[in-house]
Amino acid sequence: MSKPRVAIFDFACCEGCQLQIVNLEEEILNLIDVVDVVEWREAMSEQSHEYDIAIIEGSITREEDAKRLEVIRSRAKILIALGACATMGGLNKLKNNFDDLNEVRECVYGKDGQMPHLNTFKTKACDEVVEVDFKIHGCPIDAAEFAQIIRSLLVGKTPFVPDYPVCVECKANENICRYEYDEVCLGPIIRAGCNAPCPAAGRECFGCRGLVDNPNVEAAQEVMDKYNLTVDDLKQKLVLFNSK
Amino acid sequence: MSVSTVTKEQFKSFVAALVNSDQKVVGVQAKDDKFAFGELTDADALRLDYDVTILPPKKYVLPQKETLMNFEVAGAAKTVCPDEKMVLLGVHPYDMVAINQMDELFSQGEYDTHYMNRRDNITIIVCDVVTPSENVFASSMNTATCDSGYDILLTDIGDRFVVEAATEKGEALVKTINGAKEAAAADTDKRKAVQEKNIASLNKHTLECKPSDLPDLLEKAYDHPVWEEKAKLCYSCGSCNQVCPTCYCFDVQDEVNWDLKTGSRCRSWDGCLLSNFATVAGNHNFRENRADRFRHRLYRKGKYVPGKIDGQIACVGCGRCISACTSKIANPVEIYNTLMEKA
Ligand code: SF4
Ligand code: SF4
Ligand code: SF4
Ligand code: SF4
Ligand code: SF4
């Protein structure tokens, strides 16, 4: 049986998620033992139009990027969104909070803001443009989880991605809950799978893996009251990765 | 079996010797301003005056994640059997009661080799509570003291410990404590006073019925409005399950290795509050509503599990779920008492 052909593409992002793949180090050799990487700008110069699995990093912010993604989709049997930028727009969606995108351009790029290649629309996650088969969450992704998902797909098994909140892993690791210190933590509504590194380091969860499928957002008001916090405190945290 | 007394210094020397032996020693240590069980490498770090640990000691009999077997995708499989010996130092009586319950549950019906092997390899030293935690209600659950399951029972009587060996294993360990003296009647009286104080004072919440009344109370409470009311604020985060010494549900997942030919089957803690806990083949979830899942935990503790282990109530009053619940809705006493009000 020939090895599945994999291509990795990047759009608007910092390429930190690709770096996580590179960080697999020895495991990279295991990876290329079982798949043929046919296109990967960050690691090789060849390009190919024939692949089974397309891995997409980054968000879609320009008309030409949307078209390019559609072409990739039409060529790939399986399309995977890699990292928060691709799965939900992530940090790039911060700009969607502004009504006037021209203002954003000028603020970021100054007088160069009107150059045509900076002609962007509101940030979209991959699945707002094409159908996405699997999402690998996180900003950046977790290399071990990436490896686990790829191996599952290769043996034809649906990869396990938690639909429970970060608190599960946080508690299993015996971290001290940020709410004990009356701090806002997004853990109760954010999808686990990262093994809760932020609370382990004494910080709150910033929500980089996105909301669980059915978050109890209605509870927020009353729960925040119990800690003398407000829903605005919570929303301010959510804006970073979970803007619309 | 023997009952002796040792000075605190003598006990510390004993722990130091244990730590320096090739025996694995796990004990309670400070973790910032909380406490946790962890491998002990320094006798000075042991904190037998702790109030409660973030996670119960169940993590040593039923770890957060463990490999059950290694397999070949083609079919063959080999069970992984845990065989590490350890001394578990400083288990509180309510947590001991919880382990005793799990021992019964994992050995009845389908004998769980993984759990039981771990359990058989552990020597447990229980210590009576010195500092009550903010939410403990062991007094209400008759778990402020315990009378079985441990190898050694330790009670702090001020300047010394009373040390009771309860098993051969325990006796052998106690024999290694230099300077242990047979306990005098005055010492065992002091121990009794400590235990009686705990029986009365580990009561930050008071259950307004006998624990043994809970199954009947719940029998009539299925449609009580309290489930909806509380569950409105529930995040389905499972914290109340994770920290509970008597929650023992697990999920089993297969992971495949890079050769794509071999893999391992692992189990990890699950929780009945999590939204997909009751999802079965075909994506059918028979407890889709938060309130159903919220109710289920309280029924497990007060009715379902007792039905399997001769009526023992599967809440030992450790209070951990009360502290761990972000929404502050998990207090079993508050809920059971509410059911009584309107029943
Ligand atoms: S998800 Fe984060 S790490 Fe990954 S590309 Fe986007 S910004 Fe970079
Ligand atoms: S620190 Fe955050 S993630 Fe951890 S248990 Fe508390 S709320 Fe949940
Ligand atoms: S704890 Fe939260 S912010 Fe940190 S990695 Fe996990 S999901 Fe992202
Ligand atoms: S239900 Fe709560 S109080 Fe009762 S044993 Fe479990 S964690 Fe402790
Ligand atoms: S800890 Fe509280 S919010 Fe979380 S699942 Fe349990 S009851 Fe619900």
Q: For residue A103, is pLDDT > 80?
A: yes
Residue A159 lies in a domain: no
A131 shares its domain with A207? no
Alpha-carbon distances of B155 from A174, B16, B47, B49, rounded to whole Å: 27, 19, 13, 11
- Residue-range domain boundaries for chain B: 3-201, 211-341
Across the interface, whether the CB atoms of B327 and A226 are under 8 A apart is answered yes
Instruction: Give a yes or no: residue A238 inside a domain.
Output: yes
pLDDT at res. B296: 93
Give the chain B residue whose CA is nearest to the CA of A224.
Answer: B327
Nearest CA in chain B to A159: B255
Q: How confident is the model over B204-245, as pLDDT tens digits?
A: 999 999 999 999 999 999 999 999 999 999 999 999 999 999
Does residue A139 lie in a domain region? yes
Residue A46, burial from CB neighbour count under 10 angstroms (0-12, 13-18, 19+): exposed
Any idea which residue has 């309280």 for tokens?
A: B298
Interface test mutation site (partner B, options A25, A169, A174, A180, max chain B beta carbons within 10 A): A174
Assess whether pLDDT exceeds 80 at residue B284.
no
Close Cβ partners of B2 (under 8 Å, ≥ 6 residues apart): B164, B165, B171, B174, B182
On whether both A205 and A117 belong to a single domain, the answer is: no
A219 and B242: CB-CB below 8 Å? no
Strands B34-39 and B24-31: antiparallel
CATH number of the domain residue A128 falls in:
3.40.50.700
Nearest to B31 among A151, A176, A214 (CB): A176
Q: What is the largest CA-CA distance in chain B?
A: 67
The 3-state DSSP class for residue B152 equals strand
Q: Please answer yes or no on whether A189 and B232 come within 8 Å at the CB atom.
A: no
Q: Among residues 79-108 of chain A, which lie with CB inside 8 Å of chain B?
A: none
Environment class of A4 (CB within 10 Å of its CB; exposed 0-12, middle 13-18, buried 19+): middle
Asked if the model's pLDDT at residue B341 lies above 60, the reply is: yes
What percentage of chain B reaches a pLDDT higher than 70? 97
- Residue range A194-229, pLDDT digits in tens: 999 999 999 999 999 999 998 998 898 899 999 999
Binned at pLDDT 50, 70 and 90, residue B281 comes out as: low
Whole-number pLDDT of residue A1: 61
Q: Which of A103, A126, A154 is the last residue of a domain?
A: A154
pLDDT tens sequence across B197-211:
999 999 999 999 999
Tell which of A100, A132, A154 closes a domain: A154
* H or E element, residue B162: strand B160-165
For residue B281, the distance in angstroms to the closest alpha carbon of chain A comes to 13
Structure-block tokens of residue A3: 């090895």
Beginning with the edge strand found earlier in the chain, give each strand of the sheet holding B3-7 in spatial order.
Answer: B34-39, B24-31, B86-91, B122-127, B152-156, B160-165, B3-7, B181-182
Atom of ligand 2 nearest to the CA of B237: 8
Measured CA to CA, the distance from residue B176 to residue A127 in angstroms comes to 66
Enter the tokens of residue B302.
């007060």
Q: Has residue A231 been placed in a domain?
A: yes
Helix runs in chain B, H state only:
8-20, 93-107, 113-120, 138-141, 168-174, 185-201, 214-219, 226-231, 239-242, 290-299, 320-324, 332-342
Domain-embedded: residue A161: no
pLDDT band with cut points at 50, 70 and 90 for residue B286: low
Distance B1 CA to ligand 1 centre (A): 63
CB-CB under 8 Å, B235 with A168: no
Domain shared by A116 and A226, yes or no: no
Question: Mean pLDDT across the stretch B314-322?
Answer: 98
A-chain residues near B274 (CB < 8 A): 164, 168
> A174 and A233 share a domain?
yes
State pLDDT tens for residues A104-163. Answer: 888 888 888 888 888 889 999 999 999 999 999 999 999 999 999 999 999 999 999 999
Task: Tell whether A143 and A30 lie within a shared domain.
Answer: yes
Same domain flag for A147 and A238:
no
Secondary structure of residue A230 in the 3-state scheme? coil
Q: How many domains is chain A partitioned into structurally?
A: 2
pLDDT of res. A119? 83
Rounded to the nearest 5°, which phi and psi values hold at A10? Answer: -120, 145
CB contact under 8 A, A214 and B33: no
Nearest residue, CB atoms, B276 vs list A163, A177, A179? A163
Q: Write down the pTM of the prediction.
A: 0.94
Distant-in-sequence, close-in-space partners of B330: CB < 8 Å, separation ≥ 6: B239, B240, B321, B322, B324
Same domain as A74, residue A118: yes
Q: Identify whether residues A78 and A14 lie together within a single domain.
A: yes
Phi, psi at B65, each rounded to 5°: -145, 135
Q: How confident is the model at residue A100 (pLDDT cuts 50, 70, 90)?
A: confident
Q: Tell me: do A150 and A223 sit in the same domain.
A: no
Is A175 inside any structural domain?
yes
Where do we find the tokens 């009845």?
B108
Same domain, A150 and A227: no
Report how far ligand 4's centroid is from the alpha carbon of B169 (Å).
Answer: 30
pLDDT at position B155 over 80: yes
Q: Does position B342 have pLDDT exceeding 80, yes or no? A: no
Residues A100 and A195 in one domain: no
* A171 and A149 within one domain: no
Q: Last residue of a domain, which of A154, A174, A190?
A: A154
Q: Which domain holds residue A220?
A: 166-242
Is residue A105 domain-resident? yes
Closest chain A CA to residue B57: A174
Q: Is residue A160 part of a domain?
A: no
